[in-house]
Amino acid sequence: MLAVRDIGAGTEAAARIADSRLGATVSVQQLDLASMRSIRSAAADLRASYPRIDLLINNAGLVAFTKGSTEEGFELHFGVCHLGHFALTGLLLDTLMNTPGARIVTVSSFGHRMAGDGIDFADPHWQRRPYKWVQAYGQAKLANLLFTYELQRRLAAASGTNAIAVAAHPGTTKTQLVRDAPISIRLQNRLLGGLRQGAAMGALPILRAATDPTVVGGQYFGPGGLGELRGYPRIVSSSATSRNAPLQRRLWEMSEDLTGVRYSV
């Protein structure tokens, strides 16, 4: 199942997967993580269609060089990469918890270290301060890890489920993520192109987190090369801020309030 914002692009991707894997059945679900209305509709469709969900990969990512907002007015990075994933996971959680061995994989970035002092709870949507895309991106990626670690703690304490939450990051990869970047950043990417790996290699940490039978909840996977920029996947460390349990709980409570999605754990 591919949950996608662009149905046309998703249908093309599903066809390529089906053509490359004999017997594969791939379906497409419309989902716009910048809209709580779309998230709730997609989650309802998925719950109705699938009595079990073995794997959920929260993989949406973006880089917005100018400030943007979701349908609800959330800052775009924070709204899509964190709050959207938080809401979708919460709405599917009962199905995941009732599926033996289910995994929730959330894609972060080594850019989570660019979040400065962490989450600005007084102004998470950059309404009172000058917008800085690097810090906004870092805040969202930090939130991905804070969410993963708090979710894993709650799943581990819940009875009747062995579902786990893990995280991964792709390193630096040759994708279309910065296609709308200012020319200075596009030139920089071109100059540093030799440091970036292909998208297939960048996907390996996510795939390992999703499929390796030895994975345990709360682990974080990334490329094993210098600076976690490229290479084959291994368990990597995250910032001390991401491991701050009171910060994880505070973000969780704020996320429930902002999205209106209350978790069953």
pLDDT in tens, 78-125: 999 999 999 999 999 999 999 999 999 999 999 999 998 899 999 999
Under a CB-based contact definition with an 8 Å cutoff, are residues 105 and 86 in contact?
A: no
Element (DSSP H or E) covering residue 235:
strand 233-235
More reliable by pLDDT, 259 or 24: 259
Q: Binning pLDDT at 50, 70 and 90, where does residue 191 land?
A: low
Tell me the domains of the chain and their CATH numbers.
Answer: 52-259 (3.40.50.720)
Angle between helices 85-97 and 245-259 (to 10 degrees): 100
Separation CA 106–CA 144 (nearest Å):
7
Give, as one character, the DSSP assignment of residue 196: P
Under a CB-based contact definition with an 8 Å cutoff, are residues 219 and 235 in contact?
A: yes
Taking only the tens place, the pLDDT of each residue in 142-187 is: 999 999 999 999 999 999 999 999 999 999 887 666 556 555 555 5
Active site residue 137: yes
Q: Binning pLDDT at 50, 70 and 90, where does residue 190 land?
A: low
* Per-residue H/E/C for 52-83: CCCEEEECCCCCCCCCCECCCCCEHHHHHHHH
The mean per-residue pLDDT over the stretch 131-152 comes to 97
Mean pLDDT (the chain) is 93
The whole model's pTM is what? 0.93
- pLDDT at position 66 over 60: yes
**12-21, 28-37, 150-159, 207-216: segment of lowest average pLDDT:** 12-21
Catalytic residue, from 131, 137, 149, 232: name it: 137
Cβ contacts of 84 within 8 Å, gap of 6 or more = 33, 34, 39, 60, 70
pLDDT the model gives residue 85: 98
Rounded to a whole number of angstroms, the distance between the first and last alpha carbons of the chain is 25
pLDDT the model gives residue 186: 55
